[in-house]
Chains A and B, each alone.
Chain A
Amino acid sequence: MKKTLLNITVNDETFELYIKPKKLLVEVLRDELGLTGTKRGCNTGACGACTVLLNGVTVKSCSVLAVQAEGAEVTTVEHLADGAKLSALQLSFLDQGAYQCGFCTSGMLMSATALLNEEPKPTREDIKEGIHGNICRCTGYNSIIRAIEAVAEGKYREKR
């Protein structure tokens, strides 16, 4: 299969990559760029472990061809912290124990980040809807909901 050129910005860095056109975005992120924070749990877009931001909007990166992200800006979990300084959501996830095995956590954090970017004061129902597409088999979700709520309530504002 002939390779094609992909121009993509990931976490504020621009890349020129030659890839097979059938490569999924998740494969390019993980295999070409080594950004293994983004996981893959089903390959059918059902579990949300591969959630990333594409031009600020959440997508399941296992359901997007990398070439569809031509010229786009992609944000992954690796970009949430500023050096050693964690984002408010990351701190809140720690405080609430909003992860256990951690395999869904990257996708969950990306969905939560997009949710709060779009709606800084979500209701509890908004939060549940916002992470409806992300499966967590460990936590039962309530700690995750509490973590997002705490950030929305401004508990981490001074730490931002």
Chain B
Amino acid sequence: MKKKYTVIDTPVHNIDGIAKVTGRAKYTFDVTLPNMLHGKILRSPHPHAKILNIDTSKAEALNGVKAVVTGKDTLGVKQGIWRRYKELCDEEILARSKVRYIGEPVAAVAAVDEDTAEEALDLIEVEYELLQGVFEPLEAIKEGAPQLHEHAERNINVTRHIEWGDVEKGFKKADYVREDWFRCSSQAHVCMETHGAVASFIPEGKLTVWTSTQSHYYIQVLLAGVLDLKENDIRVISRYTGGGFGSKFELDSAQFCSSLLSMKLCKPVKIILTREEEFMATKRRTPMFYYVRAGVKKDGTFLAKEARVFTEGGAYTAMGATALYLTGFFQTFPYVWPSYRYDGYRVYTNTAPTSAMRGFGAPQATFTAETQIDLIADELGIDPIEIRRKNGMYPGYEVPGQAYIQSCGLSQCLDKIEDWVKSRGKLPPNRGIGIAAYGFMSGGIFNWFDTPYAFSSALVQVNIDGKVDLYIGSQDMGQGSNTTMAMICAEELGVHVEDIRLHMGDTDKCPVDLGAWGSRETLMQGNAVKRAAAEAKRQIMEFAVAKMAPNIVYDLDIKDRWVHLIARPERGLSYYDVVKEAIRGKDGQPIIARGHYTPHRKGMISPAYSFGVQAVEAEVEPETGKITLKHCATAHDCGQVINPLGVKGQLEGAIAMAAGYGFTEDLPMDEGKILNPNLVDYKLLRATEMPETEVVEVETYEPEGPFGAKEAGEGLTNPTAGALSNAVYHATGVSIKDLPITPEKVLEALREKNEKKEK
């Protein structure tokens, strides 16, 4: 079959690949400037305390120390990324009067080297008045609990309500109702490159910040807010980012403290967080206490659902308000629930703030919902695939008042996974297969950041030699968006990926894009790139038409560097020749085109949704409770695939991260202190623990996406914990509702089950 496209839908090497495999790629961690100083941050050892006094004199007197800053050197701006809502901007980056979690920054030092800066931290004397702390949301919400913020009674930070249909009537009509409590644990992002920044301020008034980020635009704007500078007097550069996963689009302490120190000294200052700081004091996945009640008919038809969530917010809002909304929204995904009521409470606690992490509230929703659906199916004697097929979303479905689903390949995904499950035949003892279905958004519509700009913009310049400069604002943190954008541009313009020179990661050069979060780049930045390329192509073809003088009813196109009549592809001209003449014809001006995208009339959440079904085959040792992942098969509808190699990589990577969430990763705490802030005690999956992965792409066409594409990376984090919990259930008969599913919990549940049987 002839391929529809010449560039997309064919695996290509990542355009940053050679730089990465040769070690040439320069990350923030690698940036060195002449006369550069090194900074370190002093952090609170207490979960809740008033700062009475900070004496920095001894530190300042240490040989090699150039400056010390504390909250007094700041403007005292309470900042946050939910800029539209002032009360949700609640975090001072250097605490002035109170600390609310262990690891909160209180001072920063710049010195000639890291050792000296470290030594100086020990010489800073902070006088604290200790306050009683509160660490669990269900404790913090009680009357009389210690209050973290003056404005937040009972420590309630944000509440969210979603409702449609007649829930009471739905439950009345139900033949079977079940309710479950779940506990979803926290998780650390563990980007291989820790947070870091190199800030360089020059007296003429311009601040340049190299930083590891998912959004240079957000960092530019947020820094402007806390430093009282004009946005465009700050240049943020971020060419390579060593992982993000949701942890790198809010303003962080390295960015803020290095900027503050550099502005004081007019010298470059570099701050790279240690792995321990990264664990203790950067954001993390939101732990949730989840109550879910569901009512269904005897035949498995879903009727009514009610969910209540209390999240451990940590000390500040961060992106937690979004996670709280999205978990409520995705609790119903990917199913049709005729009635639904959700109440979410985000509660302040004296722990490190919880925020965005790959999946953004949806992995918690999918774990709880999918675990419960299997319990319901089992109780009613219905096959797990069947109950999901019966209630699945479909193209054209409207989530009442929330979202409109255009493309939806859920039923095809269920078919593929059903075939895979059958192909496994009869399983050996102590093995089970669990499935979970999921959906996710392709970029967020909500504009809590309050940007006045288009959500994504792109600029294309075609030069005399046919080479194309593509300027984009999106950030590649490893997910491959640079390559995706180059492919979209090349496909639309009719050239090859090698013809594209990509410019990104620099606020001075690139148009605004909101950054890499909420699975937005492929659809949103992709649409902007496609539109810019289409406009450039239109300009080129004007000259081609003039030159070829075809019958006016003929249409032209460019493919594979060949400008031709669509009806008679052999009649055409070389792209390079046409470009040369076009530029001469424009009095020597290169061809320049712009494109932008902002979603309109697409509901409240997202312009498009990805779907999928995952099956996990796991073995459980009955004597020890040890779980081994054997296989993981995924059928995945991400619309039109742009780069098959990239999509596969996203899928396998998501499985590793989500399986870690399901059964090995956790951040246990004692009075707000994380007990495992290192990579020995924090157990993420290693190569020896990965299951075999099988992927089936189910292609649909998403009318809102570039070439029909939608998100392909983040949603894949949603199903694994639920599929794993169902696999354990089918292998052992016990359902673990408390993440992570550790051997201890499995053993304990097996013991309880056996005791019941004996009685």
In the bound assembly, the distance between CA atoms of A81 and B17 in angstroms comes to 14
Within 8 Å by CB of B649, from A30, A43, A103, A139, lies A139
Tell me if B653 counts as interface (CB < 8 A to partner A).
Answer: yes
Within 8 Å by CB of A139, from B240, B244, B245, B653, lies B653
A-contact 0/1 string along B455-479, CB 8 Å cutoff = 0000000000000000000000111
Tell me if A33 counts as interface (CB < 8 A to partner B).
Answer: no
Q: Which residues from chain B contact A38 at a C-beta distance below 8 Å?
A: 23
A39 & B29 in contact (Cβ 8 Å cutoff) = yes
Report the minimum CB–CB distance from A41 to chain B (whole Å): 5
A104 & B22 in contact (Cβ 8 Å cutoff) = no
In the bound assembly, the distance between CA atoms of A132 and B692 in angstroms comes to 16
A-contact 0/1 string along B478-496, CB 8 Å cutoff = 1110000000000000000
Within 8 Å by CB of A137, from B16, B245, B688, lies B245
B21 & A109 in contact (Cβ 8 Å cutoff) = yes
Tell me if B190 counts as interface (CB < 8 A to partner A).
Answer: yes
B653 & A100 in contact (Cβ 8 Å cutoff) = yes
A37 & B22 in contact (Cβ 8 Å cutoff) = yes
Interface residues of B in 424-443 (CB under 8 A from A): none
In the complex, the chain B residue whose C-beta lies closest to that of A90 is B21
CB within 8 Å for A102 and B25 given contacts A41-B194, A42-B678, A44-B678? yes
Tell me if A7 counts as interface (CB < 8 A to partner B).
Answer: no
Interface residues of B in 160-217 (CB under 8 A from A): 189-194
CB within 8 Å for A143 and B652 given contacts A41-B194, A94-B17? yes
B480 & A137 in contact (Cβ 8 Å cutoff) = no
CB within 8 Å for A138 and B243 given contacts A41-B194, A103-B193, A131-B687? yes
Q: Which residues from chain B contact A142 at a C-beta distance below 8 Å?
A: 652, 690, 692-693
Report the minimum CB–CB distance from A37 to chain B (whole Å): 2
Tell me if A140 counts as interface (CB < 8 A to partner B).
Answer: yes
B-contact 0/1 string along A51-87, CB 8 Å cutoff = 0000000000000000000000000111011000010
CB within 8 Å for A102 and B242 given contacts A97-B646, A137-B190? yes
A86 & B25 in contact (Cβ 8 Å cutoff) = no
Tell me if A17 counts as interface (CB < 8 A to partner B).
Answer: no
Tell me if A47 counts as interface (CB < 8 A to partner B).
Answer: yes
Tell me if B546 counts as interface (CB < 8 A to partner A).
Answer: no
A102 & B693 in contact (Cβ 8 Å cutoff) = no
Within 8 Å by CB of B688, from A77, A128, A139, lies A128
- Residue among A42, A49, A97, A136 with max Cβ neighbours from chain B (10 Å): A97
A78 & B22 in contact (Cβ 8 Å cutoff) = yes
In the bound assembly, the distance between CA atoms of A77 and B24 in angstroms comes to 9
A-contact 0/1 string along B1-36, CB 8 Å cutoff = 000000000010110111111111111011000000
Report the minimum CB–CB distance from A96 to chain B (whole Å): 8
Tell me if B89 counts as interface (CB < 8 A to partner A).
Answer: no
A42 & B275 in contact (Cβ 8 Å cutoff) = yes
Tell me if B608 counts as interface (CB < 8 A to partner A).
Answer: no
Tell me if A153 counts as interface (CB < 8 A to partner B).
Answer: no
Tell me if B686 counts as interface (CB < 8 A to partner A).
Answer: yes
In the bound assembly, the distance between CA atoms of A141 and B651 in angstroms comes to 11
B191 & A97 in contact (Cβ 8 Å cutoff) = no
Q: Which residues from chain A contact B657 at a C-beta distance below 8 Å?
A: 137, 140
Interface residues of A in 12-47 (CB under 8 A from B): 30, 35-44, 46-47
A-contact 0/1 string along B235-249, CB 8 Å cutoff = 000001111110000
A143 & B648 in contact (Cβ 8 Å cutoff) = yes
Report the minimum CB–CB distance from A142 to chain B (whole Å): 5
Report the minimum CB–CB distance from B628 to chain A (whole Å): 13
A44 & B693 in contact (Cβ 8 Å cutoff) = no
Tell me if A144 counts as interface (CB < 8 A to partner B).
Answer: yes
Interface residues of B in 312-363 (CB under 8 A from A): none
Interface residues of A in 115-160 (CB under 8 A from B): 127-129, 131-132, 134-145
Q: Which residues from chain A contact B240 at a C-beta distance below 8 Å?
A: 101-102
B645 & A137 in contact (Cβ 8 Å cutoff) = no
B192 & A97 in contact (Cβ 8 Å cutoff) = no
Interface residues of B in 644-695 (CB under 8 A from A): 645-646, 648-649, 651-657, 678-680, 684-688, 690, 692-693
B193 & A101 in contact (Cβ 8 Å cutoff) = yes
A102 & B478 in contact (Cβ 8 Å cutoff) = yes
B684 & A44 in contact (Cβ 8 Å cutoff) = no
In the bound assembly, the distance between CA atoms of A101 and B193 in angstroms comes to 9
Tell me if B274 counts as interface (CB < 8 A to partner A).
Answer: yes
Within 8 Å by CB of B23, from A36, A94, A129, lies A36
CB within 8 Å for A140 and B243 given contacts A37-B23, A41-B275, A44-B680? no
Q: Which residues from chain A contact B478 at a C-beta distance below 8 Å?
A: 99-103, 138
B687 & A145 in contact (Cβ 8 Å cutoff) = yes
Within 8 Å by CB of B13, from A39, A80, A95, lies A95
In the complex, the chain B residue whose C-beta lies closest to that of A144 is B687
In the bound assembly, the distance between CA atoms of A41 and B692 in angstroms comes to 27
In the bound assembly, the distance between CA atoms of A139 and B479 in angstroms comes to 10
In the bound assembly, the distance between CA atoms of A129 and B689 in angstroms comes to 10
B275 & A44 in contact (Cβ 8 Å cutoff) = yes
Q: Which residues from chain A contact B679 at a C-beta distance below 8 Å?
A: 41-42, 44, 46-47, 135
A105 & B20 in contact (Cβ 8 Å cutoff) = yes
In the bound assembly, the distance between CA atoms of A47 and B275 in angstroms comes to 10
B23 & A77 in contact (Cβ 8 Å cutoff) = yes
B192 & A101 in contact (Cβ 8 Å cutoff) = yes
A102 & B13 in contact (Cβ 8 Å cutoff) = no
Q: Which residues from chain B contact A80 at a C-beta distance below 8 Å?
A: 21-22
In the bound assembly, the distance between CA atoms of A106 and B693 in angstroms comes to 24
Report the minimum CB–CB distance from B715 to chain A (whole Å): 15
In the bound assembly, the distance between CA atoms of A47 and B686 in angstroms comes to 10
A140 & B655 in contact (Cβ 8 Å cutoff) = yes
B190 & A97 in contact (Cβ 8 Å cutoff) = no
Within 8 Å by CB of B654, from A47, A77, A140, A143, lies A140
B693 & A36 in contact (Cβ 8 Å cutoff) = no
In the bound assembly, the distance between CA atoms of A15 and B216 in angstroms comes to 39
In the bound assembly, the distance between CA atoms of A77 and B133 in angstroms comes to 48
A47 & B192 in contact (Cβ 8 Å cutoff) = yes
B22 & A143 in contact (Cβ 8 Å cutoff) = no
In the bound assembly, the distance between CA atoms of A138 and B245 in angstroms comes to 9
CB within 8 Å for A76 and B23 given contacts A44-B275, A139-B649, A143-B648? yes
Within 8 Å by CB of B18, from A30, A86, A97, lies A86
- Residue among B16, B29, B480 with max Cβ neighbours from chain A (10 Å): B29
B13 & A94 in contact (Cβ 8 Å cutoff) = yes
Q: Which residues from chain A contact B23 at a C-beta distance below 8 Å?
A: 35-38, 76-78, 105-106
In the bound assembly, the distance between CA atoms of A122 and B21 in angstroms comes to 22
Q: Which residues from chain A contact B244 at a C-beta distance below 8 Å?
A: 101
In the bound assembly, the distance between CA atoms of A137 and B242 in angstroms comes to 10
Could you jot down 18 A-B contacts, CB within 8 Å?
A: A37-B24, A77-B22, A78-B22, A81-B22, A97-B645, A97-B648, A99-B478, A103-B27, A103-B192, A103-B242, A131-B687, A132-B688, A138-B478, A139-B653, A140-B657, A141-B690, A142-B690, A143-B652
Given contacts A39-B27, A101-B193, A137-B245, 15 further A-B contacts (CB under 8 A): A43-B274, A78-B22, A94-B14, A95-B13, A99-B14, A99-B21, A100-B653, A103-B27, A105-B20, A105-B21, A137-B192, A138-B653, A139-B656, A140-B685, A142-B693
3 nearest A-B pairs in the assembled complex, by CB-CB distance:
A37-B23, A101-B478, A102-B20
